[in-house]
Structure 1
Amino acid sequence: MSASGSRELRVLGLFDHAGMGRDQRRERGAERIAGPYRVDLLAAHGIDLVTVPPARAALHLKLRDVAEHRSGVAQDLALRGARHAFRADAVLCLLEDKAVLPAALRRRRIPPYARPPIVAVSCWWAEEILHGSDEQRRRIARTARALDAIVVFSQNQAEAFARIGVADKVVPVPFGVDEAWYTPAEPVRPRLQVAAMGIDRGRDYLTLVDAARLTPEIRYDLFTQPERFAEIPLPPNVAVHAPVPMPAHRDNLRAADLVIVPTYDLAYPTGQSVLLEAMACGRCTAVTRTAAMAEYLDDGRSNLALPLHDPEGVARVVRRAIGDPGLRHRVGDAARAEVETRLTFDRTWARVAEVLREVAGRGERLR
């Protein structure tokens, strides 16, 4: 039984991880073995999360890669998880590619995925629906129609899914951060004035570099792939560094006077991880204002809003923040409070646990 007194729900989790099965948890005791986005926290909300060990043997990896490359479909986890699916109350796919084969088998009523409800966590489908090819939209629609729920991390995405007729399946859930790991700390040396981090395609570093040219008195440290700037001449106040391990990343967040997250306007909330990590560290953070980021942005209170594709406007925000330590302190304190109040991974997975119970309950009533 869960802490709430309801029956523990057995859920097959299909996702890439570094080893978070129950045996490893027993062996390693209290040491945290975190799944992606801290999905392991589902266990605190009455979910018995059964996972598939990652492929490790060289031959296994080679056969998997060949099969998945030729078919264009992620197969390995779903096939090896089939024996667990027979006894699962629900299946959780994280992320979209893990849902394609289970959904296809369900459409064709092929056991074991024909029976348990299937929930997918989606990051990119909305963007592909809006800007992908007709064939991409058809493929997403086929998969989505076979799912019971699609968890997304911003409310605006429901409109995109409505275009393929599945808006009723979309469940927006606020994204979170591991607030026990990303915490405020004593000032870290050496200090960074403006720091930007991130390697995903949603980062608008071109606008940031142009803003840096307009603020030559301020130093910018960018942690991303250096090759992104191979064809871009950088001003002397911009330094580009390769991505760093997580402990060093946290140190960089804590060291920054201002963490800046410049993004393109995508359907999903690109940049939200760094935004929330910096906020959890109590740092003043600025992020581009987009529809996808609306529920994470409270301009002037817990973070600062950047104008989209506007170097002059970004430069104004940077100058204001760097020139006003009091503002940075107030925003940083409010940022940490906002994370603790509503933007933790524990709250994210508590809501997903509710979704899993809802779909499992519907499935039981239909059987």
Structure 2
Amino acid sequence: MPELRVLGLFDHHGVRRHQHRLPADQQVSGPYCVHLLMDEGIDLMPVRPAEGRVHRKVRDVIEHRSGVRVDLAVRGATSASRSDVVLALLEGMAVLPSMLKQRGLPPYANRPLAAVSCWWAEEIVSGTDADRLRIAHALAGIDRVFVFSRNQVEIFASIGAGDKIVPVLFGVDPDWYCPDPAVSRRFQVLSVGIDRGRDFDTLLDAARLLPDALFHIVTSSGRIDPADIPANVTVAGMVSMAEHRDNLRAADLVVVPTHDLAYPTGQSVLLEAMACGRCVAVTATEAMRDYIDDGVTNLAIPLHDARGTAQVIGAILADDPRRERIAAAARTAAVERFSFQRTWHEIALALDAMARRAPRSGTYTTY
């Protein structure tokens, strides 16, 4: 059977097609490690990013004025005509192919179209009627939408697209994020993140209830008002990926405090810390349900509850053996259940099923 040919529409900095891939030590990771599709017997055909100052300027002007990501889809049209499936990562990359498909315009008209979505569910829940209508119009030409939490199926169903949603578990690279016994412990409680879903206010209030515990928060400049920082909390700016990994390895406890959003905000840091063999406490929300096994592979903290959060943190800091048991189980779960290899294996199976069901000629009809 020939390789499944997938046109990849995503921002990247050097992902190359199978036959042009660099040696392993020179390969570049795509967003969410999408390049791992090539390890699943898929001929992934990415579109090279805009190159040259003039090209980038023209692209930016057109996309800003139209509000639609057009560059990759237009330049990927030739590859689309040779593909079995089109995969857009993330939502914005799917809009133009969907519009063209709905209008019956080749080559996108007769190709199955899949998208990976992170934020549409939150826009459906908290956005305006115009937002929901815009998303529904985009979804009309998309055949499958991959999301990272099961709660989103019902949310998309509210605008008539529940049957298109395929939940898959988000992943981590457990070869990069891994334990290192040589890294000495420098933090009692570490919290990292810039996502708008981070609830640092609750964490700061919890820190006030634990004056003997030391907290270290890494976030973007200006995210936290210096006047609100308790004496036992230090705040630092964002660091490189390698420094971030070493920070995780150096923490007794990693805490991921979040608001309740429709998508699993905070799952990246949760899984990265778990893969580094660290004990992690994360806010228990519906979107995070797939990632939490309270007391086994991580700890659940209550939503917007500083006292409850302080109780969880204080108890685990005082129980070294339990914290180490959870940390060891976290590493195992990251390798066995939450690797990006597994994420893209599941998506590869779904893409193959889409290609098998697609007509070989004529206009492709959504199913």
Q: Which is worse superposed, 320-329 or 258-267?
A: 320-329
Shift in Å at residue 160 of structure 1? 0.5
Q: Residue 70 of structure 2 aligns with which residue?
A: 75
User: Which of 327, 332, 335 is 2:327 aligned to?
Assistant: 332
SS in 1 for 2:295: coil
Tell me how far apart the structure 2 counterparts of residues 252 and 179 of structure 1 sit (CA, whole Å): 16
Q: Residue 365 of structure 2 aligns with which residue?
A: none
Matched, 1:61 2:59: no
Q: 1:167 to 1:252 in 2, by over 3 A?
A: same
Shift in Å at residue 187 of structure 1? 4.8
| 1:213 counterpart letter in structure 2 | R
Q: Residue 300 of structure 1 aligns with which residue?
A: 295
Q: Residue 244 of structure 1 aligns with which residue?
A: 239
* Runs of 5+ unmatched residues, structure 1: 1-5
Cα displacement string for residues 220-278 of structure 1 (whole angstroms, at most 9, x for unaligned residues): 11111120113752111111111111110000000000000000000100000000000
Q: TM-score, normalised by structure 1?
A: 0.96
Q: TM-score, normalised by structure 2?
A: 0.96
Q: 1:232 to 1:152 in 2, by over 3 A?
A: farther
User: Which of 13, 17, 34 is 2:12 aligned to?
Assistant: 17
Tell me how far apart the structure 1 counterparts of residues 12 and 307 of structure 2 sit (CA, whole Å): 42
| 1:125 counterpart letter in structure 2 | W
Tell me how far apart the structure 2 counterparts of residues 126 and 10 of structure 1 sit (CA, whole Å): 29
Percent identity of the aligned residues?
A: 55
Q: Residue 3 of structure 1 aligns with which residue?
A: none
* Runs of 5+ unmatched residues, structure 2: 363-367
Tell me how far apart the structure 2 counterparts of residues 254 and 298 of structure 1 sit (CA, whole Å): 21
Q: Residue 216 of structure 2 aligns with which residue?
A: 221
Shift in Å at residue 355 of structure 1? 1.0
| 2:52 counterpart letter in structure 1 | A
Q: 1:29 to 1:283 in 2, by over 3 A?
A: closer
SS in 2 for 1:259: strand
Shift in Å at residue 60 of structure 1? 1.1
Q: Residue 36 of structure 1 aligns with which residue?
A: 31
2:16/2:22 contact within 8 Å kept: no
Matched, 1:149 2:141: no
How many residue pairs match? The answer is: 362
Shift in Å at residue 27 of structure 1? 4.1
Please tell me the root mean square deviation across aligned C-alpha atoms, in Å.
Answer: 1.5
| 1:65 counterpart letter in structure 2 | D
Q: Residue 173 of structure 1 aligns with which residue?
A: 168
SS in 2 for 1:78: helix
4+ aligned runs moved over 6 Å, structure 1 = none
Q: 1:305 to 1:187 in 2, by over 3 A?
A: farther
Q: Residue 198 of structure 2 aligns with which residue?
A: 203
Tell me how far apart the structure 2 counterparts of residues 241 and 76 of structure 1 sit (CA, whole Å): 37
Q: 1:137 to 1:232 in 2, by over 3 A?
A: farther
Tell me how far apart the structure 1 counterparts of residues 182 and 250 of structure 2 sit (CA, whole Å): 6
Cα displacement string for residues 89-142 of structure 1 (whole angstroms, at most 9, x for unaligned residues): 000000000001110110111111111100000001111111101011001001
Q: 1:10 to 1:232 in 2, by over 3 A?
A: farther
Shift in Å at residue 340 of structure 1? 1.7
Shift in Å at residue 61 of structure 1? 1.1
1:285/1:304 contact within 8 Å kept: yes
User: Which of 100, 106, 112 is 2:95 aligned to?
Assistant: 100
